[in-house]
Amino acid sequence: MSNEKMVKSITSMEEDFAKWYTDVVLKAELVDYSSVRGCLIIRPYGYAIWENIQKLLNERFVETGHENVYMPLFIPESLLQKEKDHVEGFAPEVAWVTHGGNEKLEERMCVRPTSETLFCEHYANIVHSYRDLPKLYNQWCSVVRWEKTTRPFLRSREFLWQEGHTIHATAEEAKAETIQMLDVYADFVEQCLAIPVIKGQKTEKERFAGAEATYTIEALMHDGKALQSGTSHYFGDGFARAFGIQYADKDNQLTYPHQTSWGVSTRLIGAIIMAHGDDNGLVLPPAIAPKQVVVIPIAAHKAGVTEKATELYERLKKIARASIDLSEQSPGWKFAEYEMKGVPLRVEIGPKDIEQGQCVVVRRDNREKTFVKLDELEEKIPMLLKAVQDGLYQKALARRETMTYQATTMEEMIKTAQEKPGFIKAMWCGSRECEDALKEKAGVSSRCIPFEQEQIADRCVCCGKPAAKMLYWGKAY
């Protein structure tokens, strides 16, 4: 048995994108399958990415005045049923608990698919006066939706997420919160995950169960499919009425408050993989990479190499999430391994480099090599990390621009959807009929009504009636 592990190989993107994706999540050791179909094991490397996402998002939530809480895992059936649209949306896909130990429960409970009903019940208990408002709460937890088909991170029966739930005195405040949190998401996904997004509103058909308005950030994946990456909902006072939440305003009048909810999930890890990955594996943006730099000694058996590599590692630790690989594997094996894991920078150092007082830094995103003088390490590494972060964003943006098309007729729509993976911009009259027809005939769903509107035609791409709005359409995960 050789001491050298096999270099891992994966299916190429071109050949089979779905298979490439599964290969990456497994070979980069992000997840493992469990015996519970559709539920994942998130391994240390995958969970470390989630922890970085949590940390950066949570800072933004705290800055905008939000507080974390924890609600029960279970929702009694009667509570789930209190808001009509909400229960219709979720009841068909929840997991039901019917027994506690050996006893049958008097009322069955579902495992939370989302927690609006629990927050509403709590708000009814603690909100009495205008002085109690707003409440700006967030929860980090797992939720369960009993999906028929599942894919790691993108659609699983259990997934990790955060769900913000806020309650406000006025509709204006609640609306402002809804948009603020969409902006927080967009900013985070663009700045930290290096993925450009389209901000917009969902159509009524795609709206969250029980919401008056749903806003979304939509990202484009490598294969031209859209990924809904975060949503923010405005509820008006619908839930407050259903749950009897009222407060005494300044004139002591009982009034219904207005609510929002918003969430992102481990789906974002799927977005990172499919927005930046390549045929060598994962490519991680430095902002959320568990390891930003890995030091690999070359010809480590030669005198002084391991010592020098360790010295570099000790220096790098102070300015980045650095690691070092002193194992007996060959440099070639290590290069492949850390490429698979998407580590943004690799620092190579061998006898010749030491002689010349330098090291070799290789970027994961474009394999660009830079010789860095050892005394400039602390200056150059952060610059290179920033270059990778910016480079990933620019590359993803350019790809999205190239893969965004327009259609003004149904013929064009069908042809583009068939031949050109990507977003399609097209005008829409506003009717559900046309939205359904586009799904049926062109296989595309409405992604969003973008905030940045363009008048690309006067008439609906489907029915030819006067158009109300320009929408993004596409195939989606």
Contacts with a copy of itself by CB under 8 A lie at 1, 32, 34-36, 39-44, 47-48, 50-51, 67-76, 79, 91-102, 109, 111, 118, 121-122, 125-126, 137, 141-142, 144, 146, 157-158, 160, 252
Of the pair 136, 426, the CB lying nearest a copy of itself is at: 136
Rounded least distance, CB 74 to a copy of itself, Å: 5
Of the pair 252, 455, the CB lying nearest a copy of itself is at: 252
Distance CA(16)–CA(12), nearest Å, equals 7
Q: Are the CB atoms for 456 and 427 separated by under 8 Å?
A: yes
* Residue owning tokens 């010349």: 356
Distance CA(255)–CA(456), nearest Å, equals 44
Distance CA(30)–CA(40), nearest Å, equals 10
Q: Are the CB atoms for 157 and 38 separated by under 8 Å?
A: yes
Distance CA(235)–CA(240), nearest Å, equals 9
In sign, the C-alpha dihedral spanning 22, 23, 26, 28 is: negative
Rounded least distance, CB 130 to a copy of itself, Å: 12
Rounded least distance, CB 282 to a copy of itself, Å: 18
Of the pair 94, 227, the CB lying nearest a copy of itself is at: 94
Of the pair 50, 477, the CB lying nearest a copy of itself is at: 50
Of the pair 102, 455, the CB lying nearest a copy of itself is at: 102
Q: Which helix (H) or strand (E) holds 187?
A: helix 171-191
Of the pair 37, 301, the CB lying nearest a copy of itself is at: 37
Which 3-state string (H, E, C) describes 454-476? CCCCCECCCCCCECCEEEEEECE
Rounded least distance, CB 186 to a copy of itself, Å: 26
Rounded least distance, CB 207 to a copy of itself, Å: 21
Of the pair 67, 401, the CB lying nearest a copy of itself is at: 67
Rounded least distance, CB 92 to a copy of itself, Å: 5
Rounded least distance, CB 391 to a copy of itself, Å: 29
Q: Are the CB atoms for 232 and 182 separated by under 8 Å?
A: yes
Cβ–Cβ contacts within 10 Å for residue 71, how many?
Answer: 18
Q: Are the CB atoms for 323 and 293 separated by under 8 Å?
A: yes
